[in-house]
C-alpha cells in the first residue's frame, strides 16, 4: 500500500488574488476525493477572515482544509515552516486515500515547495537589532547593492524579507539569491494548474470583492483584531487592507477612499504574483474569465488528473 500511496500526485491550484482559486479547489476536491492545503500567505492567521477573503465553513463545503487559522494574529509564519507542514500533511492525507491539493497565491510559500528553499544561517539577534533601527529605504539601498536579484523580488517596504536577505549576506558573505539557486523543490509529483482572467474583468472582480468586504464588516474585524494584538510591528499587519483599515479607524482616510486605495494595492500584488508565476514553465494555464468552477474543473480533469480511487489501484 505504501508504494501505491506514493503514486498519488499533488495538484497545485495557483493564481493571483481574486482569480477564483477557492471555488475551483473545493469543486476539484469533491470530484477527486481530495483535501486542501492552503498556500494563502494570510489565511494562516486566525481571525483575519474578511480582509483575506478566507473561505467560510459554508464555502469549504465539508472539504478538509489545512493551514488555515493555524497562527495567532500577533504570531509569525515563514516559508520553511510551511514546507515542513506540507511534508507532514502529505502522507497524512495519502493514508486516508485522498488526493492532496495545494491551493493559494502566496509566492514565497509556493516557492518553498515548487522551487526549493534555502534554510539559511541562524538569526543573529545583534545584527537584526541593528538592522531594525535603520529606515526601510536604507535597507533597500544596501540590498540592491549586495544582492540586486533579491532586491528585484522584494518590495522596498517588506522589512522582514529585506532584513533576512541582509542577515544571510552578512553571515555568509554570499547573496541569498545565490544560495537559493542551490535549493531543491520537494521530491513530489506536482501537477500545477494556474488560473487567470481577462485584465478588465479581474480589476472589476477585485473592486467588487473589496466593496463586499467592507459591507461584511472588514473595518470592525480589524478594529477587534487590533485589541487582540494586531499592530504595525506584526506580520499579519502587512496584509493588504489592514493598514488602510487602520487609516479609516484613525481618521486618515474615509471609507469611500478605502476602496480605490486597496484596489490599487491589490492590482500591484496581482502583477507581482503573475510575474513570479510566469517564470515557471511547468504551469498549465487556464483562462477562468466568466467560467464556473465546475467548467474549470472539467478542463483540469480532462488533462488526466486521477481520482484517489484511480491513483490507489
**CA within 13 Å, CB half, 46:** 9
Q: Is residue 151 domain-shared with residue 210, that is, in the same domain?
A: no
Q: Is residue 85 domain-shared with residue 195, that is, in the same domain?
A: yes
Share above pLDDT 70 across residues of the chain, in percent, rounded to a whole number: 91
pLDDT at 9 exceeding the cut of 90: no
**Buried-exposed string 21-39: b where 16+ CB fall within 10 A, e elsewhere:** bbbbbbbbbebbbbbbbbb
Distance of CA 155 to CAs 59, 137, 255, 269, Å? Answer: 32, 11, 26, 10
pLDDT at position 132, please?
86
pLDDT at 282 exceeding the cut of 70: yes
Show the CA angle centred on residue 176, arms to residues 43 and 17, nearest 5°. 25
Q: Is residue 201 domain-shared with residue 88, that is, in the same domain?
A: yes
Q: Which residues, in sequence order, are CB contacts of 303 under 8 Å at separation 6+?
A: 284
Q: Is residue 102 domain-shared with residue 234, that is, in the same domain?
A: yes
Q: Per residue in 225-268, pLDDT tens?
A: 999 999 998 989 999 999 999 999 999 999 999 999 999 999 99
Q: Is residue 166 domain-shared with residue 274, that is, in the same domain?
A: no
Contact 262, 240 (CB under 8 A): yes
Three-class secondary structure of residue 131 per DSSP: helix
pLDDT at position 306, please?
55
Tell me the residue length of the chain. 313
Q: Is residue 177 domain-shared with residue 206, that is, in the same domain?
A: no
Q: What is the dihedral of CA 197, 203, 204, 205, to 10 degrees?
A: 60
What values do phi and psi take at 268, rounded to 5? -60, -40
DSSP, residue by residue, 217-240: THHHHHHHHHHTT--TTSGGGGST
pLDDT at 311 exceeding the cut of 50: no
CA quadruple 156, 160, 164, 170: dihedral sign: positive
Per-residue pLDDT band at 7 (split at 50, 70, 90) = low
CATH number, residue 274 = 3.40.50.300
Q: Cell numbers 544571510 label which residue?
A: 168
Three-class secondary structure of residue 143 per DSSP: helix
> Could you give the CA distance from residue 90 to residue 37 in angstroms, rounded to a whole number?
9
CA quadruple 68, 71, 77, 82: dihedral sign: negative
pLDDT at position 154, please?
86
CA quadruple 15, 67, 179, 130: dihedral sign: positive
Q: Is residue 90 domain-shared with residue 43, that is, in the same domain?
A: yes
What average pLDDT does the chain have?
89
- Where a domain ends, among 148, 181, 214? 181
Look at 123 and 186; give whichever has higher pLDDT: 186
pLDDT at 110 exceeding the cut of 90: yes
What values do phi and psi take at 196, rounded to 5? -145, 165
Q: Is residue 226 domain-shared with residue 107, that is, in the same domain?
A: yes
In which domain, by residue range, is 163 found? 125-181
Q: Is residue 62 domain-shared with residue 190, that is, in the same domain?
A: yes
> Could you give the CA distance from residue 247 to residue 30 in angstroms, rounded to a whole number?
41
Residue 173: CB atoms within 10 A of its CB come to 8
Q: Which of 7-11, 229-233, 274-278 has the lowest mean pLDDT?
A: 7-11
Please tell me the total count of domains within the chain.
2
The set of cell numbers assigned to 303 is: 488533462
Q: Is residue 217 domain-shared with residue 163, that is, in the same domain?
A: no
Q: Is residue 34 domain-shared with residue 81, that is, in the same domain?
A: yes
pLDDT at position 297, please?
96
> Could you give the CA distance from residue 244 to residue 264 in angstroms, rounded to a whole number?
12
Distance of CA 290 to CAs 117, 119, 142, Å? Answer: 36, 41, 45
Q: Per residue in 169-205, pLDDT tens?
A: 888 888 887 776 656 788 898 999 999 999 999 999 9
Amino acid at each position: 500500500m505504501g508504494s501505491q500511496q506514493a503514486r498519488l500526485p499533488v495538484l497545485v491550484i495557483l493564481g493571483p488574488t481574486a482569480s477564483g482559486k477557492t471555488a475551483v479547489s473545493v469543486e476539484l476536491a469533491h470530484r477527486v476525493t481530495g483535501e486542501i492545503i492552503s498556500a494563502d500567505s494570510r489565511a494562516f492567521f486566525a481571525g483575519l477572515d474578511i480582509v483575506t477573503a478566507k473561505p467560510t465553513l459554508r464555502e469549504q463545503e465539508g472539504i478538509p482544509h489545512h493551514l488555515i487559522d493555524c497562527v495567532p494574529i500577533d504570531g509569525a509564519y515563514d516559508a520553511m515552516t510551511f514546507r515542513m507542514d506540507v511534508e507532514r500533511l502529505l502522507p497524512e492525507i495519502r493514508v486516508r486515500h485522498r488526493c492532496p491539493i495545494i491551493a493559494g497565491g502566496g509566492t514565497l510559500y509556493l516557492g518553498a515547495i515548487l522551487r526549493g528553499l534555502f534554510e539559511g544561517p541562524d538569526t543573529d539577534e545583534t545584527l537584526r537589532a541593528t538592522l531594525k533601527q535603520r529606515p526601510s529605504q536604507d535597507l533597500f539601498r544596501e540590498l540592491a547593492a549586495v544582492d540586486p536579484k533579491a532586491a528585484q523580488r522584494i518590495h522596498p517596504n517588506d522589512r522582514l524579507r529585506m532584513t533576512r536577505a541582509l542577515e544571510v549576506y552578512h553571515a555568509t558573505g554570499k547573496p541569498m539569491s545565490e544560495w537559493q539557486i542551490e535549493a531543491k523543490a520537494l521530491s513530489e509529483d506536482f501537477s500545477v494548474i494556474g488560473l487567470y482572467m481577462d485584465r478588465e474583468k479581474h480589476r472589476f472582480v477585485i473592486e467588487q470583492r473589496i466593496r463586499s468586504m467592507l459591507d461584511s464588516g472588514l473595518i470592525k474585524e480589524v478594529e477587534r483584531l487590533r485589541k487582540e494584538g494586531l499592530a504595525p510591528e506584526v506580520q499579519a499587519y502587512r496584509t493588504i487592507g489592514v493598514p488602510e483599515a487602520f487609516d479609516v479607524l484613525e481618521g486618515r482616510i474615509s471609507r469611500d477612499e478605502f476602496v480605490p486605495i486597496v484596489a490599487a494595492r491589490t492590482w500591484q500584488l496581482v502583477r507581482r504574483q503573475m510575474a513570479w508565476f510566469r517564470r515557471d514553465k511547468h504551469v498549465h494555464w487556464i483562462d477562468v474569465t466568466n467560467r464556473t468552477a465546475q467548467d474549470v474543473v472539467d478542463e483540469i480533469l480532462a488533462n488526466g488528473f486521477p481520482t484517489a480511487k484511480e491513483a490507489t489501484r
